[in-house]
Structure 1
Amino acid sequence: MTTAPFYHLDIPALADWLEGDSPLTLVDIRDPQSFAQGRVPGSQRLGNDTVEAFLGEAPRQPPLVVICYHGHSSQQAAAWLAGQGFAEVYSLDGGFTDWQHRHPDRVER
């Protein structure tokens, strides 16, 4: 199995992107309870139970950012999603943990 390339995105870059008007898809692969307790604004949870619907509905052109706890698991998911035809896929370095630390006022609950 081959995986397509993905890119790394740091927290300041994501903060800038969220302030802009450009289309962006954010997916969070953490467990449902963690996601419910806090998430990057505008993100949607992506798990084994939702991935099929996501693949059928999600636009392939806007940048897709994958978020996990610390930025490790999101790399594997980003590579896999890039292989599913998404044009521009990013793994968020530092994950939600770093986002919440740097932007506690920008956590959606």
Structure 2
Amino acid sequence: MQHIEPERIGDWVRQQAQRPVLLDVREAWELQTANTRHEDMDLVHMPMQTIPARLHELDRSRPIACLCHHGGRSQQVAHFLAQQGFEVVNVAGGIHAWAQQLDSGIPLY
């Protein structure tokens, strides 16, 4: 499983044959506190604990970038998804790093 810095996400997106998914695995309150969008990715919110039960909702043909607060939960989810045959990367540093590197308008929490 690969880790990718938020500042490199645009390069990663451009390399994909299919439109990628930005899989946010944080809790709902976290998404309400701070969220992001990427015009070339579809945002899907699935809290970490729901992933096994909702695995069928993810398209195996689309690459996935996993995102959480600081990168720990998303790393675990990315590892799990990789074991299930998904093409997946972990956004290193999570939304905290995303806010610092790409979008200072995202609140830090």
State if a TM-score over 0.5 links the two structures.
yes
Cα distance between partner residues in 1 of 2:45 and 2:104? 20
Q: Deviations over 1:51-87 (max 9, x none)?
A: 523x21221122111101111221111100111221x
Cα distance between partner residues in 2 of 1:18 and 1:37? 25
Cα distance change on mapping 1:7 and 1:17 into 2, 3 Å:
closer
The two structures have a TM-score, normalised by structure 1, of 0.74
Q: Kindly indicate whether residue 82 of structure 2 is the aligned counterpart of residue 82 of structure 1.
A: yes
Unaligned stretches of 5+ residues in structure 2: none
Identical-residue share of aligned pairs (%)? 27
Alpha-carbon RMSD: 2.5
Offset at residue 40 of structure 1 (A): 2.4
1:94 equivalent in structure 2: 93
Higher mean C-alpha deviation, range 11-20 or range 71-80:
11-20
The two structures have a TM-score, normalised by structure 2, of 0.74
Instruction: Count the aligned residue pairs.
Output: 100
Unaligned stretches of 5+ residues in structure 1: 1-5
Q: Kindly indicate whether residue 34 of structure 2 is the aligned counterpart of residue 38 of structure 1.
A: yes
Structure 1 runs, 4 residues or longer, greater than 4 Å off: 17-22
